[in-house]
Structure 1
Amino acid sequence: MNSKSQTSYTVKEAEQALKRYCAYRERCHKEVEEKLKKMNMIPDARDHIIYILLQENYLNEERFARSFARGKFRIKKWGKRRIISELKFRQISKRNIEFALTEIPTEEYYTTFNELAFKRLKQIKETQPQKIKKKLADYLLYRGWESSLVFEKVNEIVN
């Protein structure tokens, strides 16, 4: 019985494991649910453990969403569209997504966008303006920046 999927846990053991899992970094309900499924916990046990994690504040969706938005913006330089998309994928509520976006100061958002656009422009080795514009726009759009911002900036900085 070496295989992890074959290991069985008592509810108490699973609860302790999940507390450590949640204490390590912020988690969303979906991640916790998947972890419990991998541990082969039955639905009643999963519900019980999630209830305890919520009661003891190990699991907090609003806190997760805020932390996620801050981190992805500051570290990965993602735009709001990508952050929203990733939070929706993690089944975060619309209300918590709105709270999460308040973690990104407007001025810092535009400053980061400008720095990212100019940094990427310097890295592009193309010589034709149309190809430069396409590469720059594709990069910024992939990172989740709003298309109106992207196309305005691309047209402004590429001649």
Structure 2
Amino acid sequence: MEESKPRKKIYSDAEALKKAEHYCAYQERSQQEVRDKLYEWGAYPNVIEQTISKLIDGNFLNEERFAKAYVHGKLHIKHWGRIKIKQGLKLKRVSEPLIKKALLSIDLDEYEKILRNLLEKKKRSINEKEGYKLNYKLIQYAQSRGFESDLVRQVLQSR
């Protein structure tokens, strides 16, 4: 088995900033993701906080923009519901007001349409003839994807 080379540690502010800018330019990042990556790269704590501050000033890092991009991606690509998206943002240590603001950017008609499509697709894969059991399985599935149980029941009743 090959030994992995130890990574070069970052010691200067300029090195940390350059690597972090590249890291943030690739895709939207939360402050915590950048902080964790800088620690992983071996930067000192005081360098980390200065670097994050410079990234914010340079608009490489923007929590609100990150939260909205996260919500959009998880809803449209992963087909997650609001509950699961909110949990994901909390894990990224995004503040509660920004989470609420980002979740408000979800179009309710589009959200319901995504849920309907998800339920229809799942319904085709379930081999259950009894309506009650089928609905139970669909509700469980939608809840596991982070959709609200009231909305799931409402969508199932309206079919």
The TM-score normalised by the length of structure 2 is: 0.89
Question: Which residue of 1 is the match for residue 5 of structure 2?
Answer: 2
Question: For each residue in 1:22-68, what CA deviation from the matched residue of structure 2 results, as whole angstroms up to 9, or x when unmatched?
Answer: 00000001100100110111110001100110100100000000010
Match of 1:55 among 30, 38, 57: 57
Counterpart amino acid of residue 2 in structure 1: K
Q: 2:75 aligns with which of 42, 60, 73?
A: 73
Do residues 142 (structure 1) and 144 (structure 2) align? yes
CA distance, structure 1, for counterparts of residue 71 and residue 27 of structure 2: 14
Q: 1:1-159 to 2 correspondence within 5 Å?
A: 2-4=5-7, 7-9=8-10, 10-154=12-156
Does structure 2 retain, via aligned residues, the 8 Å contact 1:62–1:96? yes
**8 Å contact 2:64–2:102 — kept in the other structure?**
yes
Q: Give the alignment's TM-score, normalised by structure 1.
A: 0.89
Instruction: Give ranges in structure 2 of 5+ residues lacking alignment.
Output: none
State how far apart, in whole Å, the 2-side matches of 1:11 and 1:139 are: 48
CA contact (8 A) 2:82 2:103 kept: yes
Q: Deviations over 1:125-153 (max 9, x none)?
A: 23344442332122100110001112344
Q: Structure 2 CA distance, aligned partners of 1:63 and 1:156?
A: 35
Q: Which shifted more, 138-147 or 124-133?
A: 124-133
4+ aligned runs moved over 4 Å, structure 1: 154-157
Residues matched between the structures, number:
155
- Please give the secondary structure, in 2, of the residue aligned with 1:91: coil
Q: Which runs of 5+ in 1 are unaligned?
A: none
Amino acid of the structure 2 residue aligned with 1:109 = Y
- RMSD after superposition: 1.7
**Conservation of the 8 A alpha-carbon contact between 1:81 and 1:145:** yes
The 2-side partners of 1:144 and 1:17 are apart by: 35
Identity between Structure 1 and Structure 2 (%) = 34
Write the distance in 1 (CA, Å) between the matches of 2:96 and 2:85.
12
